[in-house]
Amino acid sequence: MTKINKQESEVKAVRKYVRMSPHKVRRVLDQIRGQDYQKVVMLLEFMPYRACKDILKTVQSAIANAEHNYGINKDNLYITQAYADKGPVMKRFQPRAQGRAYKILKPTCHINIFVGPKS
């Protein structure tokens, strides 16, 4: 999904239903917020977290959207906003002793990345 905010000329990319807790994604997003594109790619490639893979795909999608749809040079872009919203929780049950059931919650999240040109 691509959207541009005309007032601030931001381009948006969203990755939905990522099978990961939003809390774990936010700790990576806090590190890349406000950084320029080349630095973000380098950080995400070398961070040891599983969330980096999905965040990197979303950042690359936002950069491609800005280049292709709006003609903005990728060398001039930086991350203006980055946040993770909670998605639906998948509920599963594990059989336990004496006929009981143990609830397993599998969280999902939606990753939102905004990129914009440097002023």
CATH of the domain at 112: 3.90.470.10
Measured distance between the N- and C-terminal CA atoms of the chain, rounded to whole angstroms? 25
Instruction: Report pLDDT for 1.
Output: 56
Of 20, 88, 90, 86, whose CA–CA distance to 55 is shortest? 20
Q: Give the range of the structural domain holding residue 55, as residue numbers without chain letter.
A: 2-117
- Residue-wise pLDDT for 32-51, tens only, equals 999 999 999 999 999 999 99
Number of domains in the chain: 1
Pair 77, 66: CB distance under 8 Å:
yes
Positions in the chain short of pLDDT 50: 7
* Confidence at residue 107, expressed as pLDDT on a 0 to 100 scale: 96
